[in-house]
Amino acid sequence: MDAPPANSSALPFVQLFTDGACSGNPGPGGWAYILRHPASGKEREASGGLALTTNNQMELQAVIEGLAALTSKSRVELVTDSTYVAKGSAEWLPGWKRNGWKRKEGGQLKPLKNEFQWRRLDELLARHVVKFTVIKGHSGHAENERCDELAVAAAREFR
């Protein structure tokens, strides 16, 4: 991500915890997020899923849904166990955009997997000042465990 704007400290600060789950890859999947506003103590959970999806798609969807839930420009600490989403957002996205939403593979440009979701995430990232924090999944991190529980439950609805 680019350096935060000079006035970003005036923006509201929120924490966004996300996770995606998939039974089979592809298979039924679920996403979940917890959105927390530390200053007020308010917290919101949400989840959903699809009958046929992939784990990466659900990881992306969790972040998309969480950022889309914000009603005003915010400073966001986004806590995820998905290196794919964090690296994609912070490192790979600029190159994909330069290359017409294509990725380089073996010196050639190939279609970008999950392009629709990456484009939507790019729009949402531009609205906020986002700092990614990558954690190890299934390691006892309370919010990550809760998001996993919600995402798995959402995926079960499609079995």
Annotated active-site residue in 81, 88, 128, 143: 81
Annotated active-site residue in 91, 115, 123, 138: 138
Annotated active-site residue in 49, 59, 65, 88: 59
Going by their DSSP bridges, the two strands 75-80 and 129-134 should be labelled as: parallel
**Domain spans of the chain, in order of start:** 10-156
Residue 129: how many CA atoms within 13 Å on its side-chain side? Answer: 13
Residue 43 annotated in active site: no
Residue 157 annotated in active site: no
Annotated active-site residue in 19, 48, 66, 143: 19
CATH number of 10-156: 3.30.420.10
pTM of structure: 0.93
Residue 122 annotated in active site: no
| pLDDT tens, residue by residue, 5-48 | 556 778 999 999 999 999 988 999 999 999 999 999 999 999 99
pLDDT in the model for residue 1:
47
Q: What average pLDDT is seen over the chain?
A: 93
